[in-house]
């Protein structure tokens, strides 16, 4: 007790910090404050709220009762409509992600050559990504794929009777997948940047060793850009599982729910059936599934992704 008293008596009085000093010390915090507020208000709070709602029977106009059990989650896995939507979503993701990556890489590889008008082609291939899921695209897509549309008209020239793309449950998903693959521009631009970063001396060395263009691509280019492939894979996977625009504007989930992806079903459940509880449960199931796939992708990195700073 006495020691404390002595210490206090010899201590140099603390200089009071000015407001300017406080600001200076916490400048980093102030810089991230806008993002932090946005994250808390627009991300964390809605996520927390939806987690809570997923354990309730919250209806927009009939109020809310806490269920307190996993009833909504059990319903997600036992309701045929939802399990069908989950199945369609998996199918959609597993078709579109590889196709989009391959297509984007292929076009980026071509556009990496010094060809005439390359800037025009880069822009042209990027445009579909900007157009996205607009109403104009819905009209265009329907005009191409309807029974007497452009595609069947072209097939007819060769004597082929095209299927009913929009009304046959076996083909409708293909139409939606194609819309997504067509919008490969952003992935292509990222691949293009990566390809620009591949050292030319590696190609020269490979060429001297007798490697042809294909061998150079698979043995030099692809290994060098695997970090970018990995990045595109994860982002595309996330986007594919969350796809909403395509089925919403073109098929509205039909025919016979063959294009009802889980995000569309969540929307319908929340805003057409007003069943926020079930919609929240579905959203959380989707979140967990995406999380699992992302973790698997990250764990698989050590087997196929090569970083330049790694040894060996």
Partner 1 sequence: MKKDFLKRVMATGLVAAMALSTAACGDSADEAADAPAADTTTDAPAATEAAASTEEASDAAATDDGSYEECTLTISWWGGDSRHEATLAAIEAFEAAYPGIHVEPTYAAWDGWEEKMATAFAAGTAQDVNQINWNWITQYDSDGTAFVNLNDYASVIDMSQIDSAYLDMCTASDGSQAALPVSMTGRIFYWDKTTFDEIGCEIPTTLEELKACGEAFAAYGDDYYPLALGEYDRMILMVYYLESVYGTDWVTDGQLNYTVDQVAEGLQFIQDLEDAHVIPSIATIAGDGAASLDQNQNWIDGHYAGIFEWDSSASKFSAAAEGREIIVGDYLTDLGDYQGGYAKVSMCWAIASSCQHPKEAALLVNFLMNNEEAATILGSERGVPVSQIALKTANDAGLLNGQVVEANGKVLAWVQNSLDPKFEDSQLKSSDGVYYDVMAGLSYGDYTVEEAAQTLVDGVTSVISQ
Smallest distance from the beta carbon of 254 to partner 1, in angstroms? Answer: 6
Q: Which is nearer to partner 1, 165 or 191 (CB)?
A: 165
CB of 56 to partner 1, least distance (A): 15
Q: Which residues bind partner 1 (CB under 8 A)?
A: 60-62, 138, 142-143, 145-147, 149, 164-169, 252-256, 265, 268-269, 271-274
CA atoms within 13 A on the CB side of 312: 2
Query: At a CB cut-off of 8 Å and minimum separation 6, what does 130 contact?
Result: 185
State the nearest-atom distance from the C-beta of 246 to partner 1, in Å: 15
Of 132 and 197, which has the nearer Cβ to partner 1? 132
Both structure tokens of 172: 């409708």
Nearer to partner 1, 145 or 230 (CB): 145
Question: For partner 1, which is the closer residue by CB, 235 or 257?
Answer: 257
Q: How far is the CB of 130 from partner 1 (least distance, A)?
A: 22
In sequence order, what E strands does the chain have?
Answer: none
Cα gap 276→50, rounded to integer Å: 8
For the CB of residue 158, give the shortest distance to partner 1 in the complex, in Å. 20
CA atoms 186, 191, 194, 200: torsion sign: negative
Write a three-state SS string for 238-255: HHHHCCCHHHHHHCCCCC
Q: In a 3-state reduction of DSSP, which class is residue 171?
A: coil
Tally of CA atoms within 13 A in the half-sphere of 27 that contains its CB: 4
Rounded least distance, CB 101 to partner 1, Å: 29
185-196 and 80-111 helices, crossing angle to 10°: 40
Distance (Å) of CA 47 to CA 43, 124, 164, 246, 283: 6, 38, 40, 25, 10
Q: How far is the CB of 256 from partner 1 (least distance, A)?
A: 6
CA angle 40, 43, 46 (to 5 degrees): 100
Q: If you write DSSP's letter for every residue of 278-303 in order, what string do you get?
A: HHHHHHHHHHHHHHHHHHHHHHHHHH
Which residue from 119, 113, 169, 174 is spatially nearest to 141, judged by alpha carbons? 174
Least Å distance, CB 92 to partner 1, is: 18
- 215 and 103 Cβ atoms separated by less than 8 Å: no
């Amino acid at each position: 007790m006495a020691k404390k008293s002595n210490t206090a008596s010899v201590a140099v009085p603390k200089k009071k910090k000015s407001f300017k000093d406080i600001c200076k010390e916490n400048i980093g915090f102030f810089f991230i404050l806008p993002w932090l507020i946005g994250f808390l208000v627009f991300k964390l709070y809605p996520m927390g709220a939806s987690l809570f709602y997923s354990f309730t029977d919250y209806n927009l106009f009939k109020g809310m009762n806490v269920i307190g059990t996993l009833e909504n989650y059990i319903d997600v896995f036992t309701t045929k409509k939802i399990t069908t939507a989950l199945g369609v979503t998996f199918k959609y993701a597993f078709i579109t992600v590889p196709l989009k990556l391959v297509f984007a890489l292929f076009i980026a590889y071509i556009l990496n050559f010094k060809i005439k008008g390359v800037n025009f082609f880069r822009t042209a291939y990027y445009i579909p990504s900007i157009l996205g899921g607009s109403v104009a695209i819905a009209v265009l897509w329907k005009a191409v794929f309807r029974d007497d549309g452009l595609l069947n008209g072209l097939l007819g020239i060769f004597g082929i009777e095209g299927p009913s793309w929009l009304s046959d449950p076996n083909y409708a998903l293909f139409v939606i997948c194609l819309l997504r693959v067509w919008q490969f521009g952003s992935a292509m631009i990222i691949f293009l940047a990566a390809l620009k970063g591949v050292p030319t001396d590696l190609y020269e060395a490979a060429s001297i060793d007798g490697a042809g263009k294909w061998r150079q691509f698979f043995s030099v280019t692809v290994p060098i850009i695997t970090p970018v492939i990995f990045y595109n894979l994860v982002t595309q996977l996330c986007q594919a599982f969350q796809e909403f625009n395509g089925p919403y504007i073109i098929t509205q989930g039909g025919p016979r729910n063959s294009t009802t992806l889980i995000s569309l079903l969540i929307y319908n459940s929340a805003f057409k059936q007003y069943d926020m509880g079930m919609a929240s449960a579905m959203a959380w199931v989707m979140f967990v599934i995406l999380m699992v796939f992302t973790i698997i992708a990250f764990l698989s990195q050590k087997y196929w992704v090569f970083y330049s700073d790694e040894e060996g």
